[in-house]
Structure formats: C-alpha cells, structure tokens
Structure 1
Amino acid sequence: MPLPAPLLLITDRALNDRPVVETVEAALEGGCRWVMLREKDLPPESLLNMAWELAALAKRHHAALSINSDLEAAKAVGAGLHLPAGGDIATARVALGDAALIGASAHSLEEAEAAQQAGADYVTLSPIFATASKPGYGPALGLEGLRHAVARLHLPVVALAGIDATNAAACRAAGAAAVAVMGGLMRAGDPQGETAALLHALREA
C-alpha cells in the first residue's frame, strides 16, 4: 500500500505551547498531508474528541489521519492505525479492514521485520538521529542503519527522530519512503513555514 504523503506530522501536546489542533492546521496549511494523533496519556474520551477534530481538518485538506495505538478511535473516525512494536496487527486488520493503513513502530531491523511479517503496511524506524523527543531507544541508527533496513525490507520505511529540513533529503536518498517529524514541528514557532521548508527539501531529494 503506498503511503499517503512523504511527510508525516506526529502530534505531542507536551512539546507544544499552543493547542494541538492549531499546530496541525498550520502544518496542513503548509502542505502536510499525513498526520498521526499520538497523545498516549489522554483519556479515551478526550482522545476521541481530538480525533474527530483532526479528522475534520484532514478531510478539509484532503489529508490522511492515523491514530497511534487506539484502535477504537481509529475505527470510529475512519482513520489509519499506528501500533507500537509488537502490537497486534492481525486484530487491527480484522477490525479496520484491508483498505486501512496500519503501521508499526520499529527501533531495529528485527522489529521492522517482525512488523512486516505480521502484515504492517509500513514501519516507522527510529531513532535515525539523536533527539530529545525519542529518548530511551538506544543509539541513533544513522543514515547507514536506515539504508541497511530499507535494503532488507519489502515495505515502506518512514524515517523518524531528529529530522528537519537540513537532513530530510538525506533520509530520502537513503531509501526512506517518507520522513516523520514530531518535535521539529510541534515546537516550531511557525509550523506552516517549517512544514513548507521540509516539503521543499523532500522535493529537492
């Protein structure tokens, strides 16, 4: 299954000094066409409310929405689902159907291969570069680690962690089908401008 877009925005309201919905809207105005709602500590009802808000924004901008970990929210709003490493992809596939975009996190080639075997449509591979947003997952894999994983896998790899407009093109050149950005956009003073800069860098790649 092809990915919705070359740039994935992952939300984290802890990194943001404005409402998440405002940042996402700015990124969509800047050209982002794939958003992942990742707010793991929100109560289910609050997460669902935010999912509906983002689903409406995504529809308005002809963008795709994925929900991190919450199968029921993804099913309710008709979004894709992103699971942690080792998540139950088979159950998600039955619940959401063959047309749903289902991805998984991976922090090593072994985890990525397991997700591929389980039927994931894509994996996010991290950390590619060192970043405060993804602590505790071991040393950065680097572009060589990314290149090695892409060569071994048969599904799209989304490069994650420490990615900005200065290195996004290098990730694509190493074989990443897309790049994912969390802190770089959630913390940005101008999310619309930062999104446009990232997309320009990806087009140059």
Structure 2
Amino acid sequence: MVSPSGVVVLTDRRLAAGPLVEVVRAAVRGGASWVVLREKDLSYGDRYALASEVRTVVPPGRLIIAGPDPLGGGAVHLSSVDNRPNGVELVGRSWHGFEELSDEDYVTVSPVYASASKPGYGPALGPAGAARLAGKRTWLALGGVDSPSRARECVEAGAAGVAVMGAVMRAEEPEKVIRALAEAVAA
C-alpha cells in the first residue's frame, strides 16, 4: 500500500467556505493527493453517505476515513490507542511522540506550527523538531502549514507531505491554495 504524501486535505465542514464536497473537489483539482474525512460528529448514516459522495471527487483509493470504520473504503486514520480494524489496507495514526506504535503505515506529527484551527495547541515543534520526533517513520506535517514556504520547510525536514485543514477549508479559492502548497511540496 502506498502511504500518503504530497498535500493531504483534512475535512471540517464547519470551517468550509462552501459545501464540503465542492471544497474537496476544488482541492483535488488543485493537486491534493489524499483526503482525510473527519466529520466524526455526524450520525453513521450521514457520515457513510458523505464518504460515498466525497469518494466521487477523490482519486480512487485516496480517501482516508478518520476513525476505525473505513465506511466502505480501505483506509483509516486512527488515534494512537485505537485498535486496527480488520480488512483495512492503510492505517495512519496521530502521534505525539510518547505513544507506543507498531502497526501504522504513516503518522501525522503535530503541531508543526501554531495552528489557527487549534489555538493554544502545542507547543509548536517546528519542522526539525517534528522530524526528530518522527524518526524513521513515514510522517505528514500537520498544524499551521498554511503557506508554500512552510510546506517546503516540512518536506525539506523529511516529511512525506503536509496535512492541511484550516488553510484550505476557510479558503475562498481552495484550488489556488492547494496548487501553491502542492508546487512547494513538489519543488
């Protein structure tokens, strides 16, 4: 299984400047390589329906579901303590450096920078600190990656990619935001 890399978009329909599926569609047009569907507060049926709709605008196999139920797909993103569900091909985990991990394909390390979406969450690790924390794991930089220069710094420090939520969800032009981040990550 290929691990996420490039620009990974995390969803938050409450932050989205437009309908979530349209924001995701624009992000994919801009170069988002993966999407992590969060929206854990929805009922199972609504979340399943939203996952099915989002799958229609994301490249095949590139939708990751936050939580232990892949909602008809093959990829999940879990907390450090969630059990790996049977039958999933890809497991990512949120990691803060102290949890015991052994079955993940990648981790998100956060916060790399101070985050407008989670003010006060930290302290910010910086790209070098995140790289030290991740060690040899495949990792995505998460938290405050809201500019091409920050995205580039993370990849130069060893991140396989960057995970972005607020900067794209709040954007009036999500395609443009993602395109700039994707170009920086690829450079």
The 5 Å alignment of 1:12-51 reads 12-51=12-51
Of 122, 126, 138, the residue aligned with 2:110 is 126
Q: Could you say which structure has the higher helix fraction?
A: 1
Structure 2 residue corresponding to 1:69, chosen from 61, 67, 70: 67
Alignment partner, residue 78 of structure 2: 83
Looking at structure 2, the residues matched to 181 and 110 of structure 1 have their Cα atoms a distance apart, in angstroms, of 23
Q: Deviations over 1:158-178 (max 9, x none)?
A: 110000222101001111111
- TM-superposed deviation, 1:44: 1.1
1:86 is displaced (CA, Å) by: 1.4
Q: Give 2:139's aligned amino acid.
A: V
Asked if 1 retains the 8 angstrom alpha-carbon contact of 2:115 and 2:121, the reply is: no
Identity of aligned residues (%): 40
Q: 1:194 is matched with which residue? A: 177
**Other-structure match for 1:8:** 8
Letter in 1 for 2:31: G
Matches within 5 A, 1:82-161: 82-89=77-84, 92=85, 95-97=86-88, 100-106=89-95, 108-111=96-99, 114-115=100-101, 117=102, 119-135=103-119, 137-150=121-134, 152=135, 154-161=136-143
The higher relative CO (CA closer than 8 Å, separation ≥ 6) is in 2
Instruction: Tell me if the contact between 2:68 and 2:82 (Cα under 8 Å) persists in the aligned partners.
Output: no
4+ residue runs over 6 A deviation: none
CA-to-aligned-CA distance 1:64-117 (integer Å, 9 cap, x gap): 00000141xx1x42231001121112xx1xx224xx1111101x2223xx22x2
For structure 2, the 5+ residue unaligned runs are none
- Separation of aligned partners in 2, 1:136 and 1:125: 16
- Cα distance between partner residues in 1 of 2:61 and 2:73: 13
- State the TM-score, normalized to the length of structure 2: 0.92
TM-score scaled by length of structure 1: 0.84
CA separation in 2, counterparts of 1:36 and 1:161?
14
Q: Secondary structure, in 3 states, of the residue corresponding to 1:109? A: coil
Unaligned runs of 5+ in 1: none
What's the CA shift for 1:28? 0.9
- Aligned residue pairs, count: 186
Task: For residue 63 of structure 1, report the CA deviation from its aligned partner.
Answer: 5.8
Q: Please, what is the CA RMSD of the aligned residues?
A: 1.6
Matched, 1:177 2:160: yes
- Identify the residue that residue 56 of structure 1 maps to in structure 2: 56
Cα distance in 2 for partners of 1:192, 1:80 equals 24
